Structure 1
Amino acid sequence: MSEREVYHTTFDWPKEPDVQNRLLAPLGISEEETAKRLIEYHRNINRILPSYPKILKVISSDQPCVDVFYQALTYVQSQHRSNAPFTPKILLCGPTGSGKSLQAALLAQKYGIINVSCGHLLKEEVAKNTTVGESIRPFFEKDMDVPDQIVIRILVKRLSEQDCICYGWVLHGFPRDGDQATLLENVGFTPNRVFFLNVPYDSIIERLTLRRTDPVTGERYHLMYKPPPTMNIQERLMQHPEDSEEKVKLKMDLFYRNSSGLEEYYDNIIYVNGDQDPYTVFEFIESGIIMPLPVKNPS
């Protein structure tokens, strides 16, 4: 038996006589003292409970302690719709390779909001062979942009689902210019936080053009930051066609031509230095989500 073990004369009495003989009643548990504490509790609790109407969970403790514990644990681990006026609707903007996907995943993981990647949504429709997916497929095959009206149709469907409504969302991959931002707002979806991830041109080239994949294991490497462990692996590594320097430069040039329209469209943009450790970037984005938006002075 460990020292200072707690027992109960009715529910948990020790079997060993020597343990029974050395037990002591703790101070402050007499009937009179307990009654005083109960009176004080009931006098104050009715003024405390109304302060937590949206998150209060009443659990009867007149049952086995294990049952009480699991009811409390189930409630704590469940996600509840927030009744606060602020539901996260976050837009991440930035050139290819700026880290939007990673930051969206980190936000989704920590805050339980829904990670909405426009590119992934389009690919899912094609993979499912839906009617919309079949209309997207020719654009994929020709390496052309999918028309905005098709994209917005898919986005509206996803952002209107119950999980996005309850928990909020973080969107990346759309909009990419002012016209697309207008289109998104016209269908009823306006972000309440907009982040621009700024990464120097040379850093993007370094991040993307040095990526490689092992066709045998599927393992991904980076020739500078995560080089392959052996020469045999290095010799068989392959580069994704989209990571060629020519393709990367085309995507970056397109982004920078269109980004000015986005910057003009959205007020209160939060600019982020994306050329640093991903978790440092995440902390900066997180601070921008938590802090209140500045209040505009009435004109």
Structure 2
Amino acid sequence: MTAALVIQVTQHLLSCEDLIHQGWIIEGIPETRELARALQEKGIIPRHIVVLHAEDTVLIERNLGKRVDVFTGEVYHTTFDWPSDDMVVRNLKAPEGISEVETTRRLLKYHRNFPGILQSYEKPMKLINADQPCADVFSQVLTHVQAPPRTSAPFSPRIILCGPPGCGKSLQAVLLSKKYGIINVCCGQLLREAVANETKLGELIKPFLNEGWPVTDNLVIKVLMDRLNRLDCHIRGWVLHGFPRDEDQAKLMRNVGIAPNRVFFLNLTMEAILERLAYRAVDPVTGERYHTLYNPAPSKKAFYRLLTHPKDVEEHVKTKVEMYFRLAGDMKELFEDAVSINADQDPQTVFEYIESYVVNPLPSSPTWKRRKPTLVIVRDNL
């Protein structure tokens, strides 16, 4: 079976409603680094990865003893799991491809591909010795799956990044998420996912996105609460950007119990914003993104075919930025302990400033009164 067919079949199976709600287990896939990467590109990313390992001699011995019931498909073993029913014994047959030579060939292929598969996943794999009773192996796998994910963050951060378009909120959220395992919550992405998944809220949100209108605050807050109340956000913390945009939205968050413990305002002048956004363009042939000043097209031919996204047109950018400056002032007053950072510098320098405030102890007098969080436990996908 080709890699493309494997991906197609896997996508089809994982789109079933029961798997979406109950979770799934994939066994034996991926077999190569290339297939692992291709699955990730399609959004098939497991939360837990378990590797069952044993000595090659043990695996060869196990394989040689396999027998299959030709009628039921049940697998038995001449040493470990021999049926007591003589009728079943008469139906057993050695499956193809289990000879010592064939098993050794498959093991060599596995050992050759495993390092690449290991490098394809950022999450650490749980190595479990399979040369022990099945009940013990299962117990260790279950313990690993049920254990809460670890985070390197000093506490459970609840971070909000505010700032005008082009200030680098998305980039800083990605950097925080990668280093500390914090859940990256992009408000705009949540709305688009709700529409793509055809949820009830998504059907209500869809007309707004199609017409280019702002989604009403009551719909946004429902989508946001659903995401922030999931177990991973409670355990690992979250960094939110794209919401709130004004004082009313900030008050609405407070009223529903969404209380950040770190708020950052990334400040940038109108001139700097226009310099960052109005000179962006994309090559419609290659899909590559360029910037007239910082990352120009490599050739004249590529330069002349560059296109500017309508949202990056100078007049459109000015309108959005002016609206932000008009509304953000009142919001800053609501977050008295918010930290203002000059975003007109190297992104890594901005990240180091944010990081220094994130790792410090919580302020003694937080802006928002702490409330008991409402916890909605969502079943963890396997």
- The TM-score, its normalising length taken from structure 1, stands at 0.71
Tell me which of 188, 199, 212 is aligned to 1:130.
199
- How far off its partner does 1:88 sit? 0.1
Q: Which of 178, 181, 185 lines up with 2:247 in the alignment?
A: 178
Instruction: Select 1:190's aligned residue among 259, 266, 269.
Output: 259
In 2: Cα distance, 1:168 partner to 1:245 partner:
36
Shift of 1:100: 0.1
Contact 2:280 2:290 in 1 (8 A): yes
The corresponding residue for 1:112 is 181
**Larger Rg over CA atoms:** 1
CA contact (8 A) 1:193 1:289 kept: yes
Does the CA-based 8 Å contact 2:158-2:262 persist in structure 1? yes
1:248 and 2:317 correspond? yes
Equivalence for 2:304: 235
Deviation at 1:172, TM superposition (A): 0.4
Contact 2:153 2:181 in 1 (8 A): no
Q: Distance in 1 between matches of 2:305 and 2:213?
A: 30
Q: Corresponding residue for 2:213?
A: 144
Does the residue aligned with 1:170 lie in a helix, a strand or coil? strand
In the alignment of these two chains, the number of paired residues is 223
1:19-34 aligned within 5 A: none
CA contact (8 A) 1:82 1:166 kept: no
Q: CA deviation at 1:138?
A: 1.4
- Mapped to 1, the partners of 2:289 and 2:261 lie a distance apart of 35
Give yes or no for contact 2:250–2:331 (8 Å, CA) kept in 1. yes
Structure 1 residue 129, shift from structure 2 partner: 2.4
Cα distance change on mapping 1:149 and 1:296 into 2, 3 Å: closer
> Which of 99, 113, 123 lines up with 2:168 in the alignment?
99
Distance 1:239 1:191 in 2: 36
Cα distance between partner residues in 1 of 2:291 and 2:198:
34
Cα deviation, 1:128-185, whole Å, max 9, x if unaligned, reads: 2222222112112222110000000000000011110110000001111111111111
Matched, 1:291 2:364: no
Give the SS at the match of 1:92. Answer: strand
Shift of 1:127: 1.9
Tell me whether 1:154 sits opposite 2:207 in the alignment. Answer: no
Q: Do the aligned partners of 2:265 and 2:339 also contact (CA within 8 Å) in 1?
A: yes
User: One-letter code of the match for 2:318?
Assistant: K
Instruction: Determine the structure 2 residue equivalent to 1:80.
Output: 150
Q: Give a deviation string over 1:244-291, Cα, whole Å, max 9, x none.
A: 111111110111111012111112111101000000000000001112
Quickly say closer, same or farther: Cα 1:83–1:272, change in 2 above 3 A. closer
Deviations 1:168-225 (A, max 9, x none): 0000011111111111111111100000000111010010010001111111111110
Give, in whole Å, the separation in 1 of the partners of 2:337 and 2:361: 11
Q: What is the SS of the residue equivalent to 2:350?
A: helix
What residue in structure 2 maps to residue 263 of structure 1?
332
In the alignment, structure 1 residue 207 sits paired with structure 2 residue 313: no
- Mapped contact 1:92–1:100 kept (Cα < 8 A): yes
Q: Which residue does 1:166 correspond to in 2?
A: 235
C-alpha RMSD of matched pairs (Å): 2.3
**TM-score, normalisation: structure 2:** 0.56
Q: Alpha carbons of 1:83 and 1:208: their partners in 2 closer, same or farther (altered >3 Å)?
A: closer
Contact (CA 8 Å) 1:181, 1:262: kept in 2 or not? yes
CA displacement at 1:107 relative to structure 2: 0.2
Deviation at 1:83, TM superposition (A): 11
Q: Which amino acid in 2 is paired with 1:180?
A: Q
Q: Secondary structure at the match of 2:265?
A: strand
Q: What displacement does 1:295 show?
A: 2.6
Deviations 1:23-73 (A, max 9, x none): xxxxxxxxxxxxxxxxxxxxxxxxxxxxxxxxxxxxxxxxxxxxxxxxxxx
Q: Give the counterpart letter for 2:297 in structure 1.
A: P
Q: Which amino acid aligns with 1:80?
A: R
Alpha-carbon distance in structure 2 between the residues aligned to 1:214 and 1:220: 6
* Contact 2:266-2:341 within 8 A present in 1 as well: yes
The aligned runs of 1:46-85 (5 Å cut-off) are: 79-80=149-150
CA contact (8 A) 2:151 2:180 kept: no
Contact kept? 2:159, 2:263, Cα under 8 Å: yes
Q: CA distance change for structure 1 residues 259 and 83 in 2, over 3 Å: closer, same or farther?
A: closer
Residue 296 of structure 1: how far off its partner (Å) = 4.2
Q: Which moved more, 1:92-101 or 1:132-141?
A: 132-141
Counterparts in 2 of 1:81 and 1:100: CA distance versus 1, 3 Å: closer
Question: Quick one: distance in 2 between partners of 1:222 and 1:180?
Answer: 33
